[in-house]
Each structure stands twice: as C-alpha cells, then as structure tokens.
C-alpha cells in the first residue's frame, strides 16, 4: 500500500451517514465517489495546504526516496453535491 493511501471518514451530504473510504491523499484534490448507503454521488474536496512528504519504497532493489504531495484531511471529511456549482 502506498504511504499516501488513507482510510478517511466521510460524511454523506445527502443522508448524513458517516463511512470510510480508502483514498489517495497524493492524488487529485477533488474526487467524485458514491455514498455506500444512499448511492448519492459525492464530491470530495481536500481542504488545506498540501504537504510534501518523503517516502521510500520498501523492498525495492534500488529504492529511491521519493517526494510526494499529500493533503492534510480533517477527521471527518464533508462531501458535497457534485451537481451544485460553487
Ligand atoms: Zn448517503
């Protein structure tokens, strides 16, 4: 598993259920997922400042430290309706 993969608690904007999803905090700062309870589409926006971390792949023969950018996420990430324009 990559260092940047994180199990994140997310609150559905529609049914208000809280569930966890495995997301890549080094990936796109805006993701679209679906709620496992009501199947509403969810837009997830990582707030805050991205942070660079150094990660080393373990077990690789010629492992090179690699700098990746991750987002600091709150304990529960609020989702929003992707059909709404901000
Ligand atoms: Zn829901």
Q: How far does the centroid of ligand 1 lie from the alpha carbon of residue 56, in Å? A: 37
The separation between the first and the last C-alpha atoms of the chain, rounded to the nearest angstrom, is 34
Helix (H) or strand (E) holding 35: none
> What pLDDT does 34 receive?
95
Q: How far does the centroid of ligand 1 lie from the alpha carbon of residue 55, in Å? A: 34
Q: How far does the centroid of ligand 1 lie from the alpha carbon of residue 11, in Å? A: 8
DSSP 17-84: -EEEEEEETTS-SEEEEE-TTT--EEEEE--S-EEEEEEE-TT-TT--EEEEEEE---SEEEEE-TTS
pTM for the whole structure: 0.75
> What pLDDT does 85 receive?
66
8-34 pLDDT, tens per residue?
999 999 999 999 999 888 888 888 999
Helix (H) or strand (E) holding 7: strand 5-11
For the chain, the average pLDDT equals 87
> What pLDDT does 1 receive?
57
């Amino acid at each position: 598993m990559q260092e940047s993969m994180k199990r994140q608690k997310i609150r559905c904007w529609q049914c208000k259920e809280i569930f966890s999803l495995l997301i890549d905090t080094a990936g796109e700062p805006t993701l679209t997922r679906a709620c496992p309870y009501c199947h509403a589409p969810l837009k997830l926006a990582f707030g805050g400042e991205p942070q660079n971390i150094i990660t080393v792949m373990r077990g690789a023969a010629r492992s090179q430290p690699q700098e990746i950018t991750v987002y600091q996420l709150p304990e529960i990430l609020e989702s929003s309706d992707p059909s709404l324009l901000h």
